[in-house]
Structures are given as structure tokens and as C-alpha cells.
Chain A
Amino acid sequence: MAEVRLEQAEKRFGDVTAVTGIDLTIHDGEFVVLLGPTGAGKTTTLRLVAGLEMPDHGRVSIGGRDATPLSPMERNVAFVFQQYSLYPHLSVYDNLAFPLRSPTRRVDEATIRHAVERVAKLLRIEQKLQNRATRLSGGEMQRVAIGRALVRSPSIFLMDEPLSSLDAKLRAELRLELKHIQQDLGATVLYVSHDQTEAMTMANRIGVLDHGRLVQIGSPREIYESPRNIYVATRLGMPSINLLPLSAFPSHPAPTGTRTIGARTEHVAIARGNGGAHARVEWVEHLGDQNHLHLAIGEHKLVTLVDPDLDLSVGDAVDIALQQPLYFDADGERIGG
């Protein structure tokens, strides 16, 4: 494992700038998740590290060495693709052994067998070693793909939404396994996702990308609690953070320059008739362990989390108090962050 560093990396495809000015250091043994919507440049960043794309500007260094001019073969990285990129005519065993059988490695068959069996056990696919790669379920295929990365000791694991094509249950399972494996091996991982749960649960640090730029990087807690701007604030949290104009809370003391107030669902306290902002209950979603309360303040809507025992129904008038609200200026940048 090694430290991987991107310095001022830029990549263009024709007229489109996929990423620009990316400065990112992934420390040895760290799990970094790149979060962002489709087209934000997550995958391009990953491919720049892998050497599948060459940067137009900037540098990529792996383990302190400049890797910018090196091909994927020379970089010693492992890549897990979004699609199950298995070699379909080979057995699971041969798929796992494939990277070790590279003539540049000169690994003897006994060592290969040992390594393959170790990884198969780790990923619980040891029963499937003799199966053809195409005769597996989706979850098993992706395990094999991950196993093919684990079987060698690369400088860094690069994972491009490896769990996105699996169903929800399997995704949750494999997410946990992946995090455990990473911790056990002390692996350095750069992981791309558009799923905030994956980012929150697995990452040591989350990097949020927007239109090819790294907007903010920090621990999941930092990103959640003190986002740099509205864009970052909306990336995390389910339901999404409530964004309301300052005018909706005329009596609220806000710093000068505030245009928008952001309040996460759990930071909106409601009470009956206290003279705060006057709101009306529009809809109640019962989720069992909690209720989502859809409120309207004038023409503005917001969602809060409430205790399921709280007896409120559509049409009730409530008062709202904001706890730890976030303030944003006219450009959407955070004030006092």
C-alpha cells in the first residue's frame, strides 16, 4: 500500500473539461470516497489514478514516485469496474489467478493457489472456484471482481461504483464486508460512488465533486455538519436538507449577508403554538420508527423528522424552531463555517 497524490490534475475530452484542478492526497491505508452526481468527474479522477486516462495537466504520484507517464501495467494499481468485468470463458479460479499469471510477475502456481484460496475464503466464494464466471449471480460476480483486485498487493484499490448494480440487501452486506476487508488489510482505497450511504459508512474522508472540481474534502462528519456550500449540503442527508429563504423566518437572528437558511430534517424542532414561524402540516409519512412531517411556511415547503407518537394530522398549525441552522450567502457559499 502507498500514498497516492493528485496535483492540479486536469482532463479534457474534446471541448468538455471532465476534471480540473484536482488536488487530492489519499494517505496510506485510507479509504477515500469520491461523491458526486453523474458527470461530476468521479470516474475520470479514478481513471487518471489508474492510468487508463492520461492527464492534460498536473501530476499523479504513487508512493512518492511520479507515475504520470506510466501505463496502467506499470502502476501496480487494482481496479474494480462498475460492470462485472470478468473474463467470461474462464473459471472463477482462473479469473482470480489472472493478475498473478502475468509474465511480469513470475509467480509460481503453488503461490497462486494459496493466494486465490485465501481471497476466495475472504469473500466467501470458495465453493464457486470451479464455476464458470458467467454461471454466477450478480453478487458473486462482483465478489470475484473484487477478489481479483485483492489477490495481488497493489499500491491502491480503485473502485468505480462496484456495488451499484447489486440489489439493496446485497449492497448493504457487501458494503460492510468491503469495509472490514479494507480495515483488516490496511488497504488504501479510492472509491467512487453516488450513494451517500456508502460514502458515510465506508469513508475515512469524503471528497465531493461538482462539475470536475473537488469542492470539499473531509471526514463524513465534517462534510455533513459543516458543508462549504449549498451543493455539498444537499449531497448528504435523507431526506435532503431544507433550504429556505431568510424571509421565511423574519424573527430569526441570522448573520449579515445570509440569503438562504439550511436546516437538516433532524434540526427542525416543532411545537404547538409558540409564536415562532407559523407552519401548517401538509402531509405525514409514517415510516414505522419515525415520521416525516411535510410542512408549509407560506409557499415554502420543508420536511422534518418527528416522533411517531406525536399526534399531528394534516392541516394542524405548528411552530418551528431551528437548531444549528446553516447560513448561506447569495452565491450559495456558507457563512461562518
Chain B
Amino acid sequence: MYDIIFRGQKKVELIESIRFEGLSFSYDNERPVFDNLTFDVPMGLNIYITGSGGAGLSTFLKLLGVLIQPQTGRVVINGRDTSEMSFEEFLPYRSKMGYSFDFGGLFANRTLHDNLILPLLYHKVCSMDEAHEQAKNLAVDFGFERQAQQRPALVSGGLRKLICVLRAFIMQPQMMIMDDPFTWIGMDASRKVVRMIQERREAGGLKHVFLTSRDEVWPHWLGCDFLFIEQGKPRFEERKGAA
């Protein structure tokens, strides 16, 4: 696992808890997606976040990944209020999170290979040779060696999505937040992503997984518990047959 520590900051060993406190969020004066929500996010599990369209699944993931801040209330990680932290102060936590978007997110002026190695090289967490090696291995494993030097505009939407998912994994995060990762990437790649999650969990690096998915097959394969979001209220439910 790679750590990025801002000067004077303590190293964060583990993301142990995430809590939403009195959180309200709305887009451009529209009806609030979440209104005065207080919720302890279940940790240490594979969680499939589900609900009807427009229920705020992607918004929930963004709040979880602290990519957006609520209008009122706060997101508290390990007892620390994230709204009071600067970008640099949040970096140790950020480096423990991997985030993949439901669409977009790749840099149009970089090749797929360069998109993959960007976080590794930027944060200088490994040598350039190691970064290239990691990206090449992923290209071989997922079968896109021929397209690796193409820019995103020249490859299929499915491959773009896959690269976005793999880039979230490349920093070896402790917590994965994936917004609809399996749509368009194909059966074979989906199976490999599921296997990658399982392997990293077994190895002990990956602790928390949060995902949305149009297809319930993959969350089922991952043995996900459920987090239903209905009318701005999340409700946790363990999967049937779980111990």
C-alpha cells in the first residue's frame, strides 16, 4: 500500500470509521438528495449500494469519497471533520481511497498507459520503471496491450471504463469506491475485477468496498451486503445467509 503524507501530518494506518453527521446535500437549489442525515457507514465489508434511479447513489459515493462537501453537516473520518481539513491535510486519507467514476474521468490528452501510471508517478510512490511495469502487467492481464498507447477518444467506452476502474486500484487503496464499475466492461473483465477485489481482500490490503451496479450478479459474486437508499435515507441490510 502506498502512503502520501503531507509535511507534519501523522501517517494514517487505517480508515476505521466514516460518519455522516446532520448532513444535507442538494444540487443547485433542487430538492435535497440528503436532508439532515446522520449515519454510521458500515466498514470492513463489501457493500452494494442500491436504490431507485435518482435516489442519490452516486452522490452518496461522492460524499463517502469526500469529492463533494455537504451544504450543512459534515463527513467525519476516524473522528476528524473533513470539512475543516485542507486538500493537503486530507491527502493521507485520500491516498487510502480508490475512486472510479460511472463515466468519464480519463485524461483526454494522455494515453491509456499514461492515465494508469499518472498517480504513481505524480506521488512518486515507486520508480518510473516499476510504474511502467505495473501498467504493462495490467494491460496483459486484461488484454488491452494493443490499445495501451491509444488516447481515450480512440478506444471503446467499455475499455475507457475499465481503465478508470484499474487506475483506482493502482495505488493499492484500503478503500474502494466504485460507481457502476461493471457496466460496459464485459463479462471477462468483470470477472477479473471481482477476482482482483477478492485477492486484495485476502492479501489484507483492501478493507472496505463500496459499489453501485446495474447488474446484481457481480455484487452477488462478491458476497456484498446491501445498503438501500430510499428517499434520502440509507438502510443497511446484511446479505442473506451471512454469519
Pairing of A with B: no
